[in-house]
């Protein structure tokens, strides 16, 4: 059952909340900590202790962002994530997976289920708030008239135009596709296999094969890409990073060892 929402007020009346955040967590002490700190920052908070109530609450009133525990009673966080991503009106809601599971395979599994990012327990509130601010930008990415904007980076997918500030970016088609894919969901960590598969689906790279010669599977780990595919992706990422920063600009690209890459705001 969803708990009451928490709105912050002052002597002049209630403040408008920054965003509505759903916390899906069954550990009482962590719920208390999250509710207090999120409310203190000005967020509206709704708490659900299991996956079924979270889905019901989200359908009744969509949150702006979801903090989702992996290990829940009944329906798992992974199942909840997949269900949300399959729903037409909820599929774009940012989901931050909160988990004590920290190895690369588990992280990739969560990302492939649809999570935008993960944060390992225990975590610092400053780290959590950074992720929340990063992913709430997805709700207002200034995509007016088909334009993508992240800090000083501007992309117009319809014309393949891209620039940083007043400097035009000279991007090959594979690098442009990689950048647009990540800018459309800033802060999300894209597994290497997912990015390579995106390029392969557009005929921009050869399809990858595993060591046995079979087509790539969907596990998303680095091991799914043969050495040639890994080298190709790494080369494209290096080219993209070089072009993004050659004017002395901040590096928007983040490499996550053993998992993949993300584009993040530096503001």
Query: What pLDDT digit, counting tens, does each position of 168-225 carry?
Result: 999 999 999 999 999 988 888 899 999 999 999 999 999 876 544 443 333 334 446 8
Say what the pLDDT of residue 44 is.
Answer: 93
pLDDT digits (tens, 9 = 90+) for 53-81: 999 999 999 999 999 998 899 899 999 99
Domains of the chain with CATH codes: 9-139 (3.40.50.2300), 144-263 (1.10.10.10)
12 or 75, greater pLDDT: 75
Say what the pLDDT of residue 147 is.
Answer: 83
Q: Which pTM does this prediction carry?
A: 0.67
**Is residue 8 within 8 Å of residue 14, measured between CB atoms?**
yes
* Position 8 confidence tier, pLDDT thresholds 50, 70, 90: very low
Say what the pLDDT of residue 17 is.
Answer: 60
Say what the pLDDT of residue 143 is.
Answer: 47
Say what the pLDDT of residue 158 is.
Answer: 82
Indicate the range of 45-49, 120-124, 228-232 predicted with least confidence: 120-124
In this predicted structure, the answer to whether residue 11 has a pLDDT above a threshold of 70 is no
């Amino acid at each position: 059952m969803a708990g009451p929402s928490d709105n912050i007020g002052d002597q002049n009346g209630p403040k408008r909340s920054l965003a509505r955040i759903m916390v899906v967590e069954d550990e009482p002490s962590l719920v208390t900590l999250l509710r207090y700190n999120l409310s203190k920052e000005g967020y509206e908070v709704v708490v659900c202790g299991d996956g079924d109530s979270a889905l019901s609450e989200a359908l009744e009133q969509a949150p702006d962002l979801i903090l989702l525990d992996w290990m829940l009673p009944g329906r798992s966080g992974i199942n909840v994530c997949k269900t949300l991503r399959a729903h037409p009106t909820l599929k774009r809601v940012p989901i931050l997976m909160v988990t004590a599971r920290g190895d690369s395979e588990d992280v990739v599994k969560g990302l492939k289920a649809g999570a935008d990012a993960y944060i390992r327990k225990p975590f610092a509130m400053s780290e959590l708030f950074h992720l929340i601010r990063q992913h709430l930008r997805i709700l207002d990415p200034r995509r007016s008239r088909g334009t993508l904007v992240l800090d000083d980076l501007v992309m117009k997918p319809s014309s393949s135009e891209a620039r940083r500030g007043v400097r035009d970016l000279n991007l090959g088609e594979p690098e442009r596709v990689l950048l647009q894919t990540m800018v459309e969901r800033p802060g999300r960590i894209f597994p290497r296999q997912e990015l390579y598969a995106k390029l392969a689906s557009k005929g921009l790279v050869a399809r990858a094969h595993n060591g046995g010669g079979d087509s790539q599977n969907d596990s998303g780990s680095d091991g799914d890409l043969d050495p040639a595919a890994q080298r190709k992706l790494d080369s494209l990422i290096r080219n993209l990073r070089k072009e993004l920063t050659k004017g002395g600009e901040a590096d928007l690209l983040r490499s996550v060892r053993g998992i993949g890459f993300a584009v993040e705001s530096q503001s």
